[in-house]
């Protein structure tokens, strides 16, 4: 039995990508330009919210602590001082995205130093993939594998409290008294997501109770742009070769044979609560059309019944049939679509793992415009099989064609970004790079941890291809960004003044990368380090919104995001920041 009293049973910690990003000089480049977070990747997994809600319902005291946001928003915030005051039986740290390889492990080391009696638990899909390496660290006690850990965490917390045996907790990696790592069978793969909810009201109340607003924020700019994710499924039906969340990944590394979906009624319940106090866009995680017609149809009926006014964003793996789009449009007044053709070249797209045609894409765009879509975002990628620099240029020409064709609607947006910082671990190509024309620079967790400390994103990239070297990928990314920016200006999507300043920014970012290359040629290490240190400020400036302006990606937040005018939110946020500073 454990007699020590703890304030929390579990504190869920989200680390920055690189622990001391505030001190290190790294030109992260455009690695996070097409997601709402910064290059610190401060967004915590949605699983933090489902875990917290599940455990709180069972009577556990759980706190979410987004260390990355706190460090980002307050330059004086001292993580060590802050963590020292947190009294918890267990600290759960996510290594969901591999880009947290450095930060998550460093935070674990720090937590163990400050709280040697508390348990340090890892989880997330990258932790699942790298579980063996993680368990070698003396400061990591447990790793829970798999994409569904709510119940397993409950069992572990009970065992920690009562000092009972751990050998029956499925998917758990732990250390026995001799320090040997025991890998319990990886057999818990639930085929239902019943009971998996995000309770945003509770998160908000917890922030007040813990007097910690920033620690609960999903990402730094959420107050201004409260886009909110909603879990619809876990797993994926698609077999995209470079994706570490593909069907093969879930089968081979998460033991999941079948994608699991939440019931439309459960999703409806969550949306109902959410839409009461958030007006921002809601992003559904998973493709609504992959679970058969009945599922999408039931979900749309649920939306219609609820009469939700929020913008709903659907991410599609392929263009859906016309009648499916019609049902979506009828049920949801503000529906938005995201589709990733990845390349204009259908062969490159099919080597990536998606087999739809440009004709189908264009038919989808036309139908959706007629049906009143809010916006259609098309995403293209650099770093694909058989893709050359010329092929990337041709993709931009295709973007030009698409924007011209649908200019009348003002509904279509196009983006291009490099596959960065990493080719996903566990993806088909990562497992057998040569077969697919790829070369991997880093394979292990430790190699990726060290890669994240490299001075520019060129050296952080863990791959190059037979068709594009790392240099090509970097140069091609900036070249494509310049061209696409011009195309958008020509179509009146970006006004001239903004486009000119954006182009200047892209060129400065590219030149900075080239200058870093030059610095690295210097044989003298201390001269090299000094020169890089001097670039810190510029590196930070040119690691955000270079390849595209992140603001352009935001779906318009109707009038105000959280149901309070912007100035009220700002005042609220200001006072919270003061409280945060006092507490930190």
Closer of 93 and 332 to ligand B12 (Cβ) = 93
Closer of 142 and 499 to ligand B12 (Cβ) = 142
Residue 416 near residue 374 (C-beta atoms within 8 A): no
State in angstroms the smallest separation of the CB of 323 from ligand B12.
26
What single DSSP character describes residue 555?
P
User: Would you count residue 291 as binding ligand B12 (CB under 6 A)?
Assistant: no
**Residues within window 63-92 making contact with ligand B12, judged by CB under 6 A:** 92
User: Would you count residue 51 as binding ligand B12 (CB under 6 A)?
Assistant: yes
Burial bucket for residue 358 (CB in 10 Å: 0-12, 13-18, 19+) = middle
- x/- string (CB under 6 A) for ligand B12, residues 212-241? -----------------x-x--x-x-----
Closer of 205 and 285 to ligand B12 (Cβ) = 285
Closer of 244 and 268 to ligand B12 (Cβ) = 244
For residue 194, is it left (φ>0), alpha (ψ between -120 and 50) or beta?
beta
Cα separation, 566 vs 264, in Å, equals 32
Closer of 122 and 300 to ligand B12 (Cβ) = 122
**Which candidate, 89, 125, 120, 123, places its Cα nearest to that of 107?**
120
State in angstroms the smallest separation of the CB of 245 from ligand B12.
2
User: Would you count residue 123 as binding ligand B12 (CB under 6 A)?
Assistant: yes
3-state class (DSSP) for residue 491: coil
User: Would you count residue 150 as binding ligand B12 (CB under 6 A)?
Assistant: yes
Cα separation, 161 vs 88, in Å, equals 12
User: Would you count residue 282 as binding ligand B12 (CB under 6 A)?
Assistant: no
* From candidates 53, 96, 327, 344, binder to ligand B12 by CB under 6 A: 96
Cα separation, 158 vs 426, in Å, equals 32
User: Would you count residue 482 as binding ligand B12 (CB under 6 A)?
Assistant: no
User: Would you count residue 144 as binding ligand B12 (CB under 6 A)?
Assistant: yes
3-state class (DSSP) for residue 70: helix
* From candidates 47, 215, 281, 319, binder to ligand B12 by CB under 6 A: 47
Q: What's the first-to-final CA gap in the chain, in angstroms? A: 33
| Packing angle of the helix pair 292-306, 264-277 (nearest 10 deg) | 30
Cα separation, 13 vs 140, in Å, equals 14
User: Would you count residue 93 as binding ligand B12 (CB under 6 A)?
Assistant: yes
3-state SS string over 274-314? HHHHECCCEEEECCHHHHHHHHHHHHHHHHHHHCCCCCEEE
User: Would you count residue 429 as binding ligand B12 (CB under 6 A)?
Assistant: no
Residue nearest to ligand B12 (CB): 123
What single DSSP character describes residue 30?
G
Residue 428 near residue 437 (C-beta atoms within 8 A): no
Closer of 260 and 364 to ligand B12 (Cβ) = 260
* From candidates 147, 210, 266, 287, binder to ligand B12 by CB under 6 A: 147
State in angstroms the smallest separation of the CB of 50 from ligand B12.
5
Cα separation, 357 vs 363, in Å, equals 10
- x/- string (CB under 6 A) for ligand B12, residues 15-34? ----------------xx--
Residue 1 near residue 518 (C-beta atoms within 8 A): no
Count of residues near ligand B12 by CB under 6 A: 41
* From candidates 16, 29, 45, 281, binder to ligand B12 by CB under 6 A: 45
| Contact partners, residue 48, CB within 8 Å, separation at least 6 | 12, 14, 64, 94
Cα separation, 423 vs 270, in Å, equals 33
User: Would you count residue 481 as binding ligand B12 (CB under 6 A)?
Assistant: no
- x/- string (CB under 6 A) for ligand B12, residues 173-212? ----------------------------------------
**Residues within window 451-470 making contact with ligand B12, judged by CB under 6 A:** none
| Packing angle of the helix pair 389-405, 470-490 (nearest 10 deg) | 20
* From candidates 25, 52, 104, 126, binder to ligand B12 by CB under 6 A: 126
User: Would you count residue 9 as binding ligand B12 (CB under 6 A)?
Assistant: no
User: Would you count residue 244 as binding ligand B12 (CB under 6 A)?
Assistant: yes
Binding site for ligand B12 (CB under 6 A): 31-32, 35, 37, 41-43, 45-47, 50-51, 92-94, 96-99, 121-126, 144, 147-150, 153, 229, 231, 234, 236, 243-245, 285, 424-425
């Amino acid at each position: 039995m454990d007699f020590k009293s703890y304030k929390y049973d579990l504190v869920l910690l989200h680390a920055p990508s690189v622990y001391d990003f505030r001190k290190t000089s790294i030109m992260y480049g455009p690695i996070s330009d097409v997601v709402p977070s910064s290059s610190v990747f401060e967004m915590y997994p949605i699983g933090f919210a489902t875990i917290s809600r599940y455990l709180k319902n069972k009577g556990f005291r759980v706190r979410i602590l987004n260390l990355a946001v706190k460090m980002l928003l307050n330059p004086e915030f001292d993580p060590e001082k802050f963590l020292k005051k947190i009294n918890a039986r267990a600290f759960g740290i996510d290594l969901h995205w591999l880009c947290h390889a450095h930060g998550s492990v460093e935070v674990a080391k720090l937590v163990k130093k400050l709280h040697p009696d508390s348990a340090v638990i890892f989880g997330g899909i990258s932790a699942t993939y790298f579980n063996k390496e993680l368990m070698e660290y003396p400061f990591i006690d447990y790793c829970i594998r798999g994409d569904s850990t709510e119940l397993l965490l409950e069992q572990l917390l009970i065992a920690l409290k009562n000092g009972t045996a751990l050998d029956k907790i499925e998917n758990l990696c732990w250390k026995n008294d001799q320090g040997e790592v025991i890998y319990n069978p990886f057999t818990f793969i639930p085929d239902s997501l019943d009971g998996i909810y995000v309770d945003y009201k509770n998160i908000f109340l917890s922030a007040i109770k813990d007097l910690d607003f920033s620690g609960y924020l999903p990402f730094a700019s959420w107050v201004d742009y409260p886009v909110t994710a909603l879990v619809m499924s876990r797993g994926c039906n698609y077999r995209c070769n470079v994706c570490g969340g593909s069907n093969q990944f879930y089968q081979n590394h998460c033991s999941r044979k079948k994608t699991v979906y939440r019931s439309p009624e459960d999703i409806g319940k969550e949306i109902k609560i959410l839409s009461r106090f958030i007006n921002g866009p809601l992003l559904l995680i998973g493709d609504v059309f992959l679970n058969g017609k009945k599922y999408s149809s039931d979900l749309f009926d649920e939306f219609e019944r609820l009469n939700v006014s929020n913008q709903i964003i659907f991410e599609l793996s392929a263009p859906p049939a016309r009648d499916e789009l019609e049902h979506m449009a009828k049920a949801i007044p503000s529906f938005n679509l995201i589709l990733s053709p990845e390349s204009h070249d259908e062969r490159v797209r099919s080597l990536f793992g998606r087999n739809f045609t440009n004709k189908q894409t264009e038919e989808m765009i036309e139908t959706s415009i007629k049906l009143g879509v809010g916006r259609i975002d098309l995403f293209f990628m650099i770093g694909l099989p058989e893709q050359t620099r010329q092929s990337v240029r041709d993709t931009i020409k295709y973007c030009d064609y698409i924007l011209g064709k649908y200019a009348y609607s003002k509904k279509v947006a196009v983006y291009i970004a490099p596959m960065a910082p990493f080719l996903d671990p566990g993806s088909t190509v990562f497992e057998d790079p040569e077969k697919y024309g790829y070369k991997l620079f880093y394979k292990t967790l430790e190699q990726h941890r060290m890669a994240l400390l490299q001075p520019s994103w060129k050296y952080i990239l863990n791959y190059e291809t037979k068709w594009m070297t790392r240099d090509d990928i970097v140069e091609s990314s900036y070249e494509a960004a310049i061209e696409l920016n011009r195309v958008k200006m020509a179509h009146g999507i970006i006004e001239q003044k903004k486009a000119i300043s954006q182009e200047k920014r892209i060129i400065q970012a590219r030149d900075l990368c080239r200058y870093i290359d030059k610095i690295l040629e210097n044989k003298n290490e201390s001269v090299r380090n000094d020169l890089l240190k001097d670039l810190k400020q510029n590196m930070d400036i040119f690691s955000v919104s270079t390849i595209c302006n992140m603001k352009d990606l935001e779906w318009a937040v109707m009038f105000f995001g959280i149901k309070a005018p912007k100035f009220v939110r700002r005042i609220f946020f200001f006072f919270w920041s003061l409280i945060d500073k006092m507490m930190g």
